[in-house]
Amino acid sequence: MEASKGARVWDLWVRISHWSLAAIFVSNRFLNEEGEEWHQRLGYAACILIGLRLIWGFVGSKQARFSEMLKSWPARGERLSHFWDYLRGRTPRYLNHPPLAQVGMAFLLGNLLLLGLTGWMMGVESFAETEWLEESHELLANSMLVLVIVHVLGVLRESKLHGENLIAAMIHGRKRP
């Protein structure tokens, strides 16, 4: 499918913030040493990006709005069966994020914000060299890695299950209707 065809699913800001956060996480996790200036700067940049994405979720394009995503949620009494259907590969294809992907997105963004908060706190004199804080930051970094792996596996699974390349769609912003 050409990028110019298909339904617009993710606008430019959503795609830029997504890939920027991915690059920042990989850079800070594998390339930058903890506590170094670039590690800190990129951590702050990630928090700013998340803040802007949260704002965009309320005032941005129709596809980027959280209210639009929530329309795909199953009824309250059907959520557990939806989860089991998902595990069995029986859920329908969604144009935007499926409900479980929305939960995953919330965990990813929340974990990144907590990671940024604990990183910032380690630079505050009253928290400097606090063992519980350093351990919390490390635990959050490790859990972020697990969440990213689950996210990537989910994207690959959904791509295979529904016969579409979601990674390419997150680059050009379109999916088949």
Contacts of 50 (CB under 8 A, 6+ apart): 17, 21, 109, 112, 113, 116
Q: Say if 32 falls within a structural domain.
A: yes
Domain limits for position 152: 7-175
Which pair of tokens denotes residue 48? 């700013």
Q: Say if 148 falls within a structural domain.
A: yes
Q: For residue range 106-154, list pLDDT tens digits in order.
A: 999 999 999 999 999 998 988 887 899 999 999 999 999 999 999 999 9
Which pair of tokens denotes residue 71? 């329309």
Low-confidence ranges of the chain (pLDDT < 70): 1-4
CATH number for position 83: 1.20.950
Confirm if 13 and 66 have CB atoms less than 8 A apart. no
State the total domains in the chain.
1
pTM over cut 0.75:
yes
Q: Say if 2 falls within a structural domain.
A: no
Q: Say if 114 falls within a structural domain.
A: yes
Q: For residue range 112-125, list pLDDT tens digits in order.
A: 999 999 999 998 98
